[in-house]
Chain A
């Protein structure tokens, strides 16, 4: 399977600061990137979908101005949590997708964000 990396794997920040999470697909080109988050004891919920070089599409209830997604290249996407608050503490997971390999599903190892 493909190799997907996320950085950082965990981060603790103060309320009001911004945190950037990187997702890299190391051995295939991700035309689309899905970002999920998982609150404690809950399942993964899709936050947004981004296509390389275009604006992300956000799911209902996800603030686009708070969760900034950049998908500038086929191997790198970033999620920035702006002005983070304790309620943003969650596990964030990226999932790169390639139209050339539609039947495969890859996920990053996740980033645990704790906002104090």
Chain B
């Protein structure tokens, strides 16, 4: 059974700082890994999707990496802004299409 862990559970940084969020998973037989953002009381916003054959994906200030062999992914946020404050979830998708989510990292970027 796939287990997904996100560390840290919460993170508070000053504006402008670069930061890394971590996601680890126990079963490396995955189709893809996806990072989402969720604002309080809202749905999911997809940030980056990394296929199992890829090592990283970039979008603007975001960069996500994937190391299947070690069961790890990182989400790097450059030059953080207060608007980046949200909960970040990683989801690992199995071959059958089922996704397993981590518990999330709640990020607060202070002005």
Contacts and interface: CB of A to CB of B under 8 A. Distances in A.
Contacts, number: 51
A90 to B, nearest CB: 12
Secondary structure class of chain B's binding surface, majority of residues:
strand
Interface in A44-65: 44-46, 49
Interface of A: 1, 32, 34, 36, 42-46, 49, 91, 93, 95, 97, 99, 102-105, 107-110, 112
Contacts of B99: 34, 46, 95, 105
B111 interface: no
Contacts of B101: 36, 43-45
B32 interface: yes
Nearest to A6: B43
A36 B44 CA distance: 12
B89 A102 contact: no
